[in-house]
Structure 1
Amino acid sequence: MRFAEREFTYGCRYPDRPARRSFRVHAPKRAGARLMARDLLDPANARTAIENLMFTYAERIDAGDLDGLAALFEHGRILDTEGNVQGEGVAGVRAIYEAATKIHADGTPMTQHVTSNLILEFADDMRSAEVRSRCTVMQALPPDFPLQPIITNYYEDKFAYDETRGWHFVERKMIPKLLGDLSKHLKYDIAQVLPE
């Protein structure tokens, strides 16, 4: 066997046989949805799926993609600081952001939502989860509005899993904590709607 051929069979028990993969990228068809559900209900995989939903929310709001953001709540709702429903489903959630968010010339709010400090608590059956996190929103509109933090929030989220939808938002409560200059971001004065 020439050296070049050995390179392709490195790691094989028998160098004259083709290499075998030690992992699968996709679930085998015969396992079907049951294997996929088992994988997604594994704590590590479930955490990753939930984190991806939370980070996708940030990505879409920063891109000005209100339709995409609202789609994350097809089976979910947004609550105010006191737990009252502000919007539910795609149309209801989109209406909230349409009414509240200033979109600038580039088609975005010119923000960066940074989500951190995630604490996840799963139900015993691994089919629902509650997540507490924090979000810092940065904004810049040069040259007159330099980069700065404009608000920090606590998020209290609930997620659920089913075989049809996978992991998905059930609800999000946003609790503003520290307020900066929101004049370039919101269409209303948030201080007027916060509880005393």
Structure 2
Amino acid sequence: MNNSAVEITNLLYRYAEKMDGGDLEGAAALFRHARIKVQSRDDLIDEHALLLVWKQHIKIYPCGTPRTKHIISNPIIEIDEASGKATVRAYYTVFQETDEIPLQPIAAGRYHDTFERIDQTWRFSFRDYSLLELTGNLSAHLKGFFPFAW
């Protein structure tokens, strides 16, 4: 894997690490320069709106985390080094365990991301959050209706 592919993959994994660690602000900051598509709507949101939705809807437990593990797999990475642009299509599966529920998958879907390289640093420029495909028991993860997939 070339250096650009490693950097881009690490961004995907850093997102999962921050979400699972309860660092919603840090996860949202990864999208500082990005626009995010939610559901099937054409309007896009920014990092601030994304953080607001997460804070309103994701349950954070006394340990400071949502007690989840995001597994990101099967990344298909396409990089145009000359233009400093890249796309990634990947699967995700979210597992959760709490005192009330055993370890189980609670959601699965796809991320379609676009990245750009600015000053030799790769960053998110777009994420399609509308590709939630399978859901399990989300009652221990969400506070009410969640307006889009994660």
- What is the TM-score when the length of structure 1 is the normalising length? 0.69
- Establish whether residue 111 from structure 1 lines up as the match of residue 80 from structure 2: no
Q: Shift of residue 96 of structure 1?
A: 2.2
Q: Which has the higher contact order (CA 8 A, sep 6+)?
A: 2
The Cα shift of 1:85 comes to 4.0
Does residue 106 of structure 2 align to residue 129 of structure 1?
no
Mapped to 2, the partners of 1:188 and 1:140 lie a distance apart of: 18
Question: Which structure's CA Rg is the greater one?
Answer: 1
Give the partner amino acid of 1:123: D
Matched, 1:49 2:30: no
| Count of matched residue pairs | 148
* Closer/same/farther in 2, CA of residues 193 and 127 from structure 1, 3 Å limit: closer
Provide the C-alpha distance between the structure 2 equivalents of 1:83 and 1:44, rounded to a whole number of angstroms.
35
Q: Hey, what does 2:125 align to over in structure 1?
A: 170
Aligned CA-pair RMSD: 2.0
The one of 97, 100, 121 aligned to 1:140 = 97
Secondary structure of the corresponding residue to residue 52 of structure 2:
helix
Change (3 A) 1:193 1:110: closer
The structure richer in strand per residue is: 2
2:60 partner amino acid: I
Q: Which of the residues 72, 87, 99 maps onto 2:45? A: 87
SS at match of 1:146: coil
For structure 1, which runs of at least 5 residues remain unmatched after alignment?
1-42
| Distance in structure 2 (CA, Å) of the matches to 1:84 and 1:96 | 18
- Pick from 18, 25, 31 the counterpart of residue 73 of structure 1: 31
| Cα distance change on mapping 1:178 and 1:148 into 2, 3 Å | same
- Deviation of 1:87 after TM superposition, in Å, equals 2.6
Structure 1 ranges of 4+ moved more than 4 A: none
Fraction of identical pairs, as percent: 36
**Cα offset, 1:70, TM superposition:** 1.2
Q: For each residue in 1:31-56, what CA deviation from the matched residue of structure 2 results, as whole angstroms up to 9, or x when unmatched? A: xxxxxxxxxxxx71010000110000
* DSSP 3-state at the match of 1:181: coil
Alignment of 1:13-32 (within 5 A): none
* Matched letter for residue 184 of structure 1: A
Q: Which amino acid aligns with 1:171?
A: F
The alpha-carbon deviation at position 82 of structure 1 amounts to 1.9
* Residue number among 57, 60, 64 corresponding to 1:100 in the alignment: 57
Change beyond 3 A, Cα 1:137–1:66:
same
Is the 2:57–2:145 Cα contact (8 Å) retained in structure 1? no
Once the two structures are TM-superposed, the CA of residue 193 in structure 1 deviates from its matched residue by 6.5
> Can you give the 5+ residue segments of structure 2 that lack an aligned partner in the other structure?
none
